[in-house]
Each structure stands twice: as C-alpha cells, then as structure tokens.
C-alpha cells in the first residue's frame, strides 16, 4: 500500500512541477540560469595565455605620445593643455596612505555616507590617473617619477591591505577593487619610461602583487559577486598586475573573466547576473562592459585576439550590441527586466570609458555617434583619460556644448 502511495505522491509532484513550468512560461517570466561557477572557471585550460611583454601598458604609450605631439585635433589639444601642467609632487607625497582598517557602508542604503567616507579612496584614484595623464600630455618624466614615488610610499605602508569584509558588509572589498586597478593601470603607463628607481619599482611591484592575491582570495557569493561585474573588476587588476609582475597565474585569472562573461551571455547578449538588477539592468549591463573591455584591452596588448574570442557562439560584440539596443529601446529587455529603466548613468562620461576603448578595435556607428556627444571621456580608475589615449584624431574635432548635447540625445529618455 505504501508503494502505491509513494508512486502516486511522486507522480503528483511531477505534475505540479510541470504545471509550475507552464505557469512560468505562460506568464512570460524568464527562468533563472546559472552563471559559470568558480569550480567551472578553475577547470578552464588557459595555459596558452602568458605574459609576453611586461612593460606593455594598456595602450601603446610611446606611439600615442608621438601622435599627440603632432596632432592638430582641437579636442585632443585641449586635453593636452589641461593636463600638461600637473600637480605638485611635494604636495601629493603629504597625503597619508590608507594603512588602517578600511570600512565603508553600502552605497544604496547610505549613498551620502558612502560618498563622504569614500572621499580619500576617490582622491587616490584621481591622483594616480592625473599623474599618468600629465606624463602622457607633457612628456615630462617628472610626473612618471612622482607617480612611482607616490605609490612607493603607499607600498612601504602596506596600504589598502586592511579592508573589512564579511558577506553582509562587502563594500570595503568592493571599493578597494578600483583602487588596485587604478594604481596598476596608471603605474603601467610610466614604469617602462622611468630609468632607475629600481628599489621603488620592486616595492611597488611586490605590493601590487600582494594586494591582488589577498583581495582575490575572497571568492564572493555564488551567482553574485563571485561571478558578476565585481569579478570583472577583480579580473581587471589581476590582468594588469599579472603583466607588471610577469605572473601568469594572475594574468590567467584576468582572462578567465572574459571566458566566464561570454559563457554567461543569453541569446540576446545579456549578462545573466546583471539582469537581476531590475530597473538598473541596463546600468549593470553597461557596468560589466566598463571593466570587461579594459581587461580585454590589456590582454590584447599581450598579443591575443581576445576581442574575437567566441564562446558557445557568442563574442563580446553580442554584449555590446545588446547594451546599445536596451539603451535605445528598453523593451529589448523582453521579460528579463522592467522596461522602465534607470538611465542617468548615460549622462555621466565616467560610465562610458569602455566605449572609447572598444571603438579603437571595432567600427560601431551607433556607439560612435553617441560618444561624440559625450567626449572627452575620463574614468579615474577604468582607463583614465581614455579619449586622450584612444580616440582616433579623425573621429571628432570639437567637444559638444551642453546645448548641443541636449539637442543631440541619441538614446530615448535622456532629455
């Protein structure tokens, strides 16, 4: 008798499961799909990827500086003029390193408090970006040496290594991500051109490598920070520091993020985990690209055709095209997220830095037209002065005025 009841019960459970599936499908709700797990990532064979040129920055610094010296492009020349007279090194060296426990509230629950406490972190990122930009704009090695001295001071204090983390309060871990890749990318711009300072360089190298390993040792939460945009941020510093320190393990960690991201794409080109953000799904699709594209740029500078990499039939172009589609028309989100989307980020050039880098690889007229309204583009962490470093001088001669921007909004709902 019990066997018959168990059989009936199992049959009933299967029927209920089938009915639930029908309900989900008829309601038009997207069923959840798992992203590539940490375990799956660790099984990837990335042995073909290794550091080939330790002094290769994320752009060809020498070639770009030569080009800037001969350009007649007014937009680029205005940036050169603005950056060529950089900050005082003596003043910057008075800034105390963050060598105590860093604890930061979450952004969304406490945005005002988050901004106030994050001020010194932002200032660090601006400082290293400004020094790298001043060197590229002026050619004055003073700024390159200053950047190394500045980072060396932080290295000698073992700064940034003391950040608070638990699963419920990860913000300090999140915030130090960008400080690490800000330091690494800026340092990569100047290190190869600065003669001497070998002891300082070694201390900075060791500090960055130590930071990278300590920071990435925290795996993050399954189907969340383990594998979403925060993973792409960790990958960005890992690739750059891997190059700087000739550490193939770090470099491959960076590469693994590209494989993971392409694996996680839906057939539309959406990053699965970023679609969980609801009204900010568009923002986080963009946010993922903000870190994936510079990471891919670093990898490409080591001689790999990573922008053409295909996983399960998808390339990064699918993610980019989907991003533009949902910026133009949020209904392209289908049933993955609400169509009433937050779009304020499209008015803030720091969130668009990836576009400038991407256009140096791929011809994308829709992206190019939008970027014209927003240049010059700067992101203190993810790429620095990207228009100065990447824009084709023939792409645009003048920055748009505010009134021109208002008249030329490419994407719906930005007025």
Residue pLDDT, tens place only, 258-300: 999 999 999 999 999 999 999 999 999 999 999 999 999 999 9
What does DSSP assign to residue 279? Answer: G
Site of tokens 């963050």: 98
Q: Is the peptide bond before 376 cis (omega within 30 degrees of 0)?
A: yes
Tell me the average pLDDT across 387-391: 98
- Rounded to an integer, the average pLDDT of 8-17 is 47
pLDDT band at 28 (very low <50, low <70, confident <90, very high): very low
User: What's the pLDDT band for 406 if we cut at 50, 70, 90?
Assistant: low
DSSP 337: S
* DSSP track, 43-101: T---TT-----TT--SS-HHHHHHHHHH---HHHHHHHHHHHS---HHHHTTSPP--S-
pLDDT tens by residue, 146-187: 999 999 999 999 999 999 999 888 999 999 999 999 999 999
* Angle, in degrees to the nearest 10, between helices 316-328 and 281-300: 150
Q: What whole-number percentage of the chain has pLDDT above 90?
A: 80
Q: Is residue 23 scored above 70 in pLDDT?
A: no
Go through 9-23 and write b for each residue having 16 or more CB atoms within 10 A of its CB, e for each that does not.
Answer: eeeeeeeeeeeeeee
Q: What pTM was estimated for this model as a whole?
A: 0.89
Residue 207 clears pLDDT 60, i.e. is over it: yes
- What is the rounded CA–CA span in Å between residue 363 and residue 367? 9
Q: Which of 243, 255, 247 is nearest to 305 (CA)?
A: 255
Q: Which of 203-207, 230-234, 406-410 has the lowest mean pLDDT?
A: 406-410
Q: Is 185 within 8 Å of 383 (Cβ atoms)?
A: yes
Q: What is the full DSSP assignment across 86-107? A: ---HHHHTTSPP--S-B----T
Residue 216 vs residue 99, higher pLDDT = 216
Dist CA 158 CA 177 (whole Å): 16
Other C-beta atoms within 10 Å of 33: how many? 11
Query: Over pLDDT 70: what percentage of the chain?
Result: 89
Predicted confidence (pLDDT) per residue in 297-330, tens digit: 999 999 999 999 999 999 999 999 999 999 999 9
Calculate mean pLDDT across residues 5-34. Answer: 45
**Six-digit token string for 251:** 């470099």
Instruction: Identify each DSSP E strand in 146-283 by its residue range.
Output: none
CA-to-CA distance for 283 and 268, rounded, in angstroms?
16
Q: Of 21-25, 55-59, 151-155, 287-291, which range is least confident?
A: 21-25
Residue pair 332/272 in contact by the 8 Å Cβ criterion = no
Give the number of other CB atoms < 10 A from CB of residue 25: 10
SS3 204: helix
Mean pLDDT of 62-84: 97
The model's confidence at residue 221, banded by pLDDT at 50, 70 and 90, is very high
Residue 99: per-residue pLDDT: 86
Decide if pLDDT at 10 tops 70. no
> From the CA atom positions of the chain, what is the Rg in Å?
23
Residue 137's nearest CA partner among 59, 78, 184 is 78
CA dist 139 and 154 (Å) reads 25
Residue with tokens 């130590």: 210
DSSP state of 401: P
Mean confidence (pLDDT) of the chain: 90
What pLDDT, on the 0 to 100 scale, is given for residue 172?
Answer: 92
């Amino acid at each position: 008798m019990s066997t018959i009841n168990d059989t009936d019960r199992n049959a009933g459970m299967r029927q209920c499961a089938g009915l639930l599936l029908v309900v989900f499908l008829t309601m038009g709700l997207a069923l959840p799909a798992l992203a590539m797990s940490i375990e799956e990532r660790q099984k990837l064979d990335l042995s073909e990827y290794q550091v080939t040129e330790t002094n290769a920055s994320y752009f060809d610094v020498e070639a770009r500086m030569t080009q800037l010296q001969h350009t007649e492009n007014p937009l680029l020349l205005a940036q050169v003029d603005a950056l060529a007279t950089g900050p005082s090194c003596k003043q910057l060296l008075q800034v105390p390193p963050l060598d105590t426990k860093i604890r930061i509230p979450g952004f969304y629950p406490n945005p005002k408090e988050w901004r106030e406490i994050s001020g010194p972190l932002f200032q660090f990122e601006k400082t290293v970006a400004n020094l790298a930009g001043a060197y590229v704009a002026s050619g004055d090695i003073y700024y390159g040496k200053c950047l190394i001295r500045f980072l060396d001071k932080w290295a000698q204090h073992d700064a940034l290594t003391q950040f608070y983390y638990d699963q419920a309060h990860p913000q300090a871990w999140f915030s130090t991500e960008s400080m690490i890749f800000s330091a690494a990318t800026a340092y990569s711009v100047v290190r190869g051109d600065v003669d001497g300072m070998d002891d300082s360089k070694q201390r900075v190298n060791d500090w960055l490598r130590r930071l990278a390993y300590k920071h990435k040792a925290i795996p993050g939460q399954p189907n969340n920070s383990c594998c979403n945009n925060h993973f792409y941020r960790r990958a960005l510093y890992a690739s750059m520091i891997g190059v700087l320190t000739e550490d193939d393990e770090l470099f491959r960690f960076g590469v693994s993020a590209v494989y993971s991201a392409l694996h996680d794409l839906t057939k539309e080109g959406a990053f699965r985990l970023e679609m969980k953000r609801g009204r900010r799904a568009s923002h986080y699709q963009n946010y993922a690209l903000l870190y994936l594209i510079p990471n891919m740029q670093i990898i490409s500078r080591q001689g790999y055709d990573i922008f053409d990499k295909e996983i399960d039939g998808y390339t990064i172009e699918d993610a980019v095209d989907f991003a533009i589609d949902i910026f133009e028309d949020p209904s392209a989100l289908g049933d993955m997220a609400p169509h009433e989307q937050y779009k304020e980020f499209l008015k803030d050039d720091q969130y668009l830095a990836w576009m400038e880098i991407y256009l140096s690889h791929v011809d994308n007229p829709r992206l190019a037209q939008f970027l014209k309204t927003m240049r010059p583009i700067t992101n203190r962490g993810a790429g620095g002065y990207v228009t100065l470093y990447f824009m084709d001088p023939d792409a645009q001669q003048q920055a748009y005025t505010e009134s021109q921007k208002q008249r030329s909004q490419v994407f719906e709902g930005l007025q």
